[in-house]
Amino acid sequence: MSMNRSAGVLCHISSLPGKYGIGSLGKEAYEFARLVRKNGFRYWQILPLVQTGFGDSPYQSVSSDSGNPYFIDLEELKKQKLLTKDELKSVRKRESLDYGSLYDERYATLKKAFSRFNFESEDFRAFVKSGKAEEYALFMTAKAVYGGCFSEWDAPLRDHEEDALEALRTEHHEEYLFWQFLQYEFNMQWIALKKECNRIGLRIIGDIPLYVAYDSADVWAHPELFKLDEEKKCIKVAGVPPDYFSEKGQLWGNPIYDWKEHEKTNYAWWKKRFENAFEIYDVVRIDHFRGIDRFYEIDAESEDATKGHWREGPKEKLFEGITGEIVAEDLGVTDDGVLALLNKTGFPGMKVLLFAFDSNPENPYLPHTFNENCVCYTGTHDNDTVAGYCERLNAEELILFRSEIASEMQRLELSVPIGSKPEEIAEALVSLCLASKARLAVIPVQDILGLRNDCRMNSPGKGEGNWKFRLECLPSSKCMRKLRKSIKIYRM
For the stretch 241-273, pLDDT in tens is: 887 667 888 899 999 999 999 999 999 999 999
φ, ψ for residue 375, nearest 5 deg: -120, 125
Which residues are marked as active site? 287, 329, 382
Between 153-157, 240-244, 457-461, the lowest mean confidence (pLDDT) is in: 240-244
pLDDT band per the 50, 70, 90 thresholds, residue 1: low
Q: What is the pLDDT of residue 245?
A: 64
Q: What is the mean pLDDT of residues 95-103?
A: 89
Q: What is the pLDDT of residue 192?
A: 98
Average model confidence (pLDDT) for the chain? 95
**What residues contact 220, with CB distance under 8 A and at least 6 apart?**
135, 139, 150, 158, 160, 232
Is a pLDDT exceeding 90 seen at residue 486? Answer: yes
Between 29-43, 79-93, 278-292, 371-385, the lowest mean confidence (pLDDT) is in: 79-93
pLDDT band per the 50, 70, 90 thresholds, residue 2: low
Q: What is the pLDDT of residue 218?
A: 98
The proportion of the chain whose per-residue pLDDT surpasses 70, expressed as a percent, equals 99
Is a pLDDT exceeding 70 seen at residue 333? Answer: yes
φ, ψ for residue 321, nearest 5 deg: 85, -5
pLDDT band per the 50, 70, 90 thresholds, residue 416: confident
**What residues contact 238, with CB distance under 8 A and at least 6 apart?**
211, 252, 253, 254, 255, 256, 291, 295, 296, 297, 298
Query: How far is it, in rounded angstroms, from Cα 196 to Cα 483?
Result: 23
